[in-house]
Amino acid sequence: MKTIVLAYSGGLDTSVCVRWLADRGYRVVAFMADVGQGEPSRKAIARAKIAGASQVIVKDLRKEFAQEYVLPALQAQAVYEGTYLLATALSRPLIAKHLVEAAHAANAGAVGHGCTGKGNDQVRFEVSVRALDPRLEIVAPLRVWEFRSREEEIAYCARHRIPIDVTRKSPYSIDRNLWGISVEAGVLEDPWREPPLDSFQFVSPPERAPSKGEVVTVEFVTGVPVKLNGKRLPLVALIDALNRIGARHGIGRTELIESRVVGIKSREVYEAPAARILYDAHAELERLVFDRELLHFKQSLGPKYAELTYYGLWFTPLKAALDACIGFTQQRVTGAVRLKLLKGSCQVIGRRSPYSLYRERLATYSAKDQFDHRAAEGFIKLFGLPYEGSTH
């Protein structure tokens, strides 16, 4: 009997996948990754068994997710198409890696996932799995099965006595982890229509956030956020705490028309308060401690890092090379940033670092000024020399 390790979320699609694969002669191992979406429920575990899984594996991957996936993206300042902070995209190579490991441990020849044929996640899972073990067969039931609607899947579950919570279903397709939430489908598919209030998952709509803002202080050591408001916290706890604070103040909700890997445009809504605050704080610290050339070059790497992440090209040589370069730059990204959170806006209001390149005696317009004003004259003469007489 062939064994398959299925990435199982506990939702309708992957519950149907379990039964569907078992009916096709597979011994199904359901793999549940905890990436901070909320602990896998007993119900979901029981459902996998009822649906026909011979084994359910639950793995807490939050720490690894934060350290090895979220942190490099933060240090890279990776933002896709200027807006998306990549929460969903970052979780996929991690889950793929653990699917492959679970497949090896279970002596399985195949892995499976519940992604549809037009999303990015199928690309990310499969490219990552193949990078790590090209011999594994990959099965994507949703691309080939007979069901054409949710209702047909529900009917299938009823026929097979698989208990599902139809009532709790949200009108949106939601993917959640500790770094953020992706919300799509339903009325959001009309790109002209403002996302209704019920599409907010945990961030307060800015107009309902308290009119009294809140100041937070984040401290970094070599590019790693280590303290929040003076308190040392492990990365996962720091992100959780910042998510709670930021959500209260309406921080980190964005939407965009996004270019998917498979060629289509889609309307996407995201919530990522902790990510927004940490990106802003980290970027400001880099502005403080990097010289101009390093800063500008480093800033040019973020979009490329985001593309690689978005496209699922995580386990690739270019990504590894960028990690080495970015890692090197983080040696001096140590210091503290103060930010004011107020009704959806996140403003840096203070920063300091032992490696700060800011010199008040050179920057000041007061009598304490030590900048050599006369040296500017010769500098400008040579700087502008190539363009003398240029009419363009």
- Interface stretch with ligand ARG, choices 169-177, 211-219, 320-328, 368-376 (CB under 6 A): 169-177
Determine whether 121 is an active site residue: yes
Active site residue 345: no
The residue among 14, 40, 18 whose CA lies nearest residue 28 is 18
* Beta pairing class for 180-184 and 265-271: antiparallel
Strand, coil or helix: 177: strand
In the complex with ligand ARG, the residue whose CB is nearer, 270 or 290, is 270
| Active-site residue (options: 92, 253, 332, 351) | 92
Q: How far is the CB of 73 from ligand ARG (least distance, A)?
A: 12
Q: Are 120 and 310 in contact (CB under 8 A)?
A: yes
Q: How many helices (H) and strands (E) does the chain have?
A: 14, 14
Region near ligand ARG per CB under 6 A, out of 14-22, 100-108, 172-180, 355-363: 172-180
Q: Which of 106, 187 has the CB closer to ligand ARG?
A: 187
Of 260 and 343, nearer to ligand ARG (C-beta) is 260
Q: Which is nearer to ligand ARG, 176 or 351 (CB)?
A: 176
Among 37, 88, 177, 353, binds ligand ARG (CB under 6 A): 88
Of 309 and 334, CB closest to ligand ARG? 309
Tokens encoding 328: 């090197």
- 184 belongs to the binding site for ligand ARG (CB under 6 A): yes
Q: Which is nearer to ligand ARG, 40 or 335 (CB)?
A: 40
Q: Which of 156, 205, 201 is nearest to 175 (CA)?
A: 201
Q: Which of 126, 153, 175, 280 binds ligand ARG (CB under 6 A)?
A: 175
> What tokens were used for 80?
């896709």
13 is catalytic: yes
User: Least distance to ligand ARG from the beta carbon of 120, Å?
Assistant: 4
Pair 274, 239: CB distance under 8 Å: yes
Q: For the CB of residue 260, give the shortest distance to ligand ARG in the complex, in Å.
A: 7
Residue 313 CB, shortest distance to ligand ARG, in Å, is 14
What is the phi/psi pair of residue 15, to 5°?
-65, -45
Sequence-distant (6+) residues with CB within 8 A of 63 are 234, 235, 236
| CA-to-CA separations, 235 to 32, 52, 66, 194, 317, in angstroms, rounded | 22, 37, 7, 34, 27
Q: Which is nearer to ligand ARG, 100 or 188 (CB)?
A: 188
Q: Which of 231, 326, 275, 258 is nearest to 82 (CA)?
A: 258
Site stretch for ligand ARG (CB under 6 A), options 24-32, 97-105, 174-182, 336-344: 174-182
From CA 155, how far away is CA 367, in angstroms rounded? Answer: 80
Print the binding letters for residues 106-145 with ligand ARG: x by CB under 6 A, - otherwise. Answer: --------------xx------------------------
Q: Please count the residues of this chain forming the interface with ligand ARG, following the rule CB under 6 A.
A: 11
Site for ligand ARG in 264-323 (CB under 6 A): 268
Return the residues of window 213-272 that contact ligand ARG according to CB under 6 A. 258, 268
Q: What is the closest distance, in whole angstroms, from the C-beta atom of residue 93 to ligand ARG in the complex?
A: 12
Task: Yes or no: say if 246 and 366 are a contact pair by the CB < 8 Å rule.
Answer: no
The answer to the question of residue 89 lying near ligand ARG (CB under 6 A) is yes
Q: Which one-letter DSSP state was computed for residue 70? A: I
> Nearest distance from residue 269's CB to ligand ARG, in Å?
9
CB closer to ligand ARG out of 229 and 254:
254
- Cα–Cα distances in angstroms (integers) from residue 79 to residues 1, 76, 156, 300, 315, in the given order: 44, 9, 40, 11, 18
- Tokens matching residue 24: 């096709």
Alpha helices in 147-194 (DSSP H): 150-159
| Segment lying near ligand ARG (by CB under 6 A), choices 27-35, 96-104, 170-178, 202-210 | 170-178
* Dihedral class, residue 107 (left if φ above 0, else alpha if ψ from -120 to 50, else beta): left
Q: Which residues bind ligand ARG (CB under 6 A)?
A: 88-89, 120-121, 173-175, 182, 184, 258, 268
Q: Which residues are catalytic?
A: 13, 92, 121, 173
